[in-house]
A and B are shown apart, each in its own frame.
Chain A
Amino acid sequence: MDERLPEPLLERAVDLAADLAPRAAEFDRDERLPREVVKQMAEAGFLGATVPAEWGGLGLTPLQYGELTEVVGKACASTRALLTVHTSLVAETLAARSSRRIKEKYLPDLARGRRIACFALSEPGSGSDAGSETGEMSTTYTEKGDTFVLDGHKTWISFAGMADVLLVIATDGGVGSAFLVDRDMPGVEVRPISGMLGNRAAHMAEVVLSGVEVPAENLVSGIGAGFAFVANRALFHGRYSIAWAGVAIAQAALEEMCAYAARRDQFGARIGSFQLVQKMIADAVTDVSAARELCRRAGRLRGKRSPEAIAATNIAKYFSSTVASRVASDTVQVLGGNGCWSGYPAERLFREAKILEIIEGTSQVQQTLIADFGLTEFSKKDWVGKR
C-alpha cells in the first residue's frame, strides 16, 4: 500500500498549509472559514481525497489521507474539520455505501468541492446514544408515495452553515435510516451557532427539518441501514480523521513548546534547560510519536480492509485526542502568560484539542468500546500476537 502522499500532492498540501497557518487565528476570531479557503481545498482536490478516482476524487489510501490531514490540521483545525466532515463523514461513506444513482447524482460534485456536505446525527436530546434503543432521537421519517417526509431538529452540525447537502439520520419507530437532504429543499432551516470552544470557523449550525419531502432515491442504503451501516460507517471514517487531527494539533503544540523553551530566558538560563520543562517536552515527543504510530497502524489495517481496523481506529482516536489535549495543555504551561494570550497559538491549540476528545464519539465512548474489545480479545489468556 502507498504510505506517503505523492510528492506533488504533498507540495500542494504544504503550500496550502503555509497559506492557512498565519490566518488560522483570524478564522477562529471571525468564527468563519472563508469560501475562498473552501475553494482552495477544492481546487487542490483535497475535498475528494478518499473518493475513488472514478467519481472524481484523488483515491488516496488511508495512510496518504492521514498525512494530508496532519499537514492541513497542523495549520488550521477548522479547515481540517472540513476534511473530516465533508470528505470522511459524508463523501467517503457515500462512496462505500450508497446506490449508483446517489453516487452519480452527488459524488462527483462532492469530490470536486462543487457542493459541500455535512453530517446531521446529533440532536438536542440525543448524542452518544443516538443509535441505541434508549436513544432519544426525535427526527423522524415517514414514507409518502415516492418520497420520505422528514421532521426534526439536529444540532452541533459542523459546516451546516455552508453545506449544500446534509446526510441526515432519522428514525421511524426505532428503524433508523439515512437520507441525503438538499439544503434548498422546502422545510430546511439552518440556524448558525456562535460561541463554540473550538472549531469556531467550522460554520456550526442547528438544522430544523419541517415536513421536508426527500425523493426516495435519496435514501442512502436500505431502510433500517441508518445507524448500523451508515452512521457507524461515517463515524468509522470520521474517527480516523479525528485521530490524525489529534496528531496534527499535538505536533503543532510540540513545535510551539520547543521553539519557545529554546529561546525564553528565566533565572539566567533558557527554560528548555530546566528539567521540569524537559519532562514536559520529553513526554510530548514520546506521546506524539506514539499517537502517530497508532494512527499509521489503523491506516494500514483500514487499507487492508481488516475487521481489526475498527478497534484500531477507536484506539488511535482515543489516544491521539488525549495526547493532543495533554500536549497542548503543557504547551500553555511552558509559555506561561503568553500561553494564555491569543497573540500566541497555544491557547487556540488547547481549545481545539479539547474538541477532539468529544466529537466523533467522546473519550468515554471510546474507552467503553476499547474495553469491550479488550475483554473479547484478551480475556482467554491465549493471545500470542497478530502478524
Chain B
Amino acid sequence: MHESGSPTDAVPGVDARESIRDYIEANTSALGAGELRDDDDIFDKGFVTSIFAMQLLAHIENTFDIEVPDDYLNLQRFSSVERMVEMVDELRAVPSG
C-alpha cells in the first residue's frame, strides 16, 4: 500500500487514489454495495460491472496521461482502488517511448 509521498502522490496536479476513488464512487450503482474500501474487489462486491472496466481504463489513461500496455489489461489490475493506484505508480515510473 502506498502512503502519502508515493510516486503517484509526488506528481503534481492529480492524486491517483483520490481520483480513482472519486470516479468509482460517482459511477457506483445506486442499489448500493456499501462503503468502498481501497482493497475491495469492485467487481466482486458489485460496485460496478465488468463493462465499467473500459471506462476505468479510459479514465486512467486520460487523467494520468499514460498508456496502459497490453499485458496490464486484465480485470485483476483494475479490481480495486489499491491495485489501480499500484498500476498507475508503476506506469508513471517507466519512461514512455
Q: List the A side residues contacting B73 at CB < 8 Å.
A: 97, 221-222, 224-225, 228-229
Main secondary structure of the interface of B (DSSP, over half): helix
In the complex, what residue of chain B is closest to A132 when comparing beta carbons?
B50
A369 touches B (CB below 8 Å)? yes
Mark interface residues in B61-95 (1 if CB within 8 Å of A CB, else 0). Answer: 01000000111111110100000000000000000
Q: Which of B1-33 contact A (CB under 8 A)?
A: 27-31
Whether B51 lies near A229 (C-beta < 8 A) is no
Q: Which of A342-387 contact B (CB under 8 A)?
A: 369, 372, 375-376, 379-380
Name A307's contact: one of B50, B58, B72 (CB within 8 Å).
Answer: B58
CA distance in complex: A223, B70 (Å): 8
Whether B30 lies near A375 (C-beta < 8 A) is yes
Name A222's contact: one of B53, B54, B62, B74 (CB within 8 Å).
Answer: B74
In the complex, what residue of chain A is closest to B71 when comparing beta carbons?
A222
In the complex, what residue of chain A is closest to B72 when comparing beta carbons?
A222
CA distance in complex: A123, B31 (Å): 31
B57 touches A (CB below 8 Å)? yes
In the complex, what residue of chain B is closest to A98 when comparing beta carbons?
B70
Evaluate whether A376 and B28 lie within 8 angstroms (CB atoms) in the complex, with A229-B73, A305-B62 already known. yes
Q: Which of A69-117 contact B (CB under 8 A)?
A: 97-99
Tell me the smallest distance from the CB of B91 to a CB of chain A, in Å.
14
Evaluate whether A233 and B30 lie within 8 angstroms (CB atoms) in the complex, with A222-B70, A222-B73 already known. no
CA distance in complex: A232, B53 (Å): 9
CA distance in complex: A227, B50 (Å): 8
Q: List the B side residues contacting A310 at CB < 8 Å.
A: 51, 54-55
Q: List the A side residues contacting B31 at CB < 8 Å.
A: 375
Q: List the B side residues contacting A240 at CB < 8 Å.
A: none
Whether A375 lies near B29 (C-beta < 8 A) is yes
Q: List the A side residues contacting B28 at CB < 8 Å.
A: 376
Name A228's contact: one of B29, B30, B54 (CB within 8 Å).
Answer: B54
B45 touches A (CB below 8 Å)? no
Whether A232 lies near B50 (C-beta < 8 A) is yes
A175 touches B (CB below 8 Å)? yes
A131 touches B (CB below 8 Å)? yes
Tell me the smallest distance from the CB of B64 to a CB of chain A, in Å.
15
Whether A307 lies near B29 (C-beta < 8 A) is no
Q: List the A side residues contacting B76 at CB < 8 Å.
A: 224
Q: Name 7 A/B residue pairs within 8 A (Cβ), A-sorted.
A: A99-B70, A222-B71, A223-B74, A224-B75, A232-B50, A307-B58, A376-B29
A318 touches B (CB below 8 Å)? no
Mark interface residues in A227-240 (1 if CB within 8 Å of B CB, else 0). Answer: 11100110010000
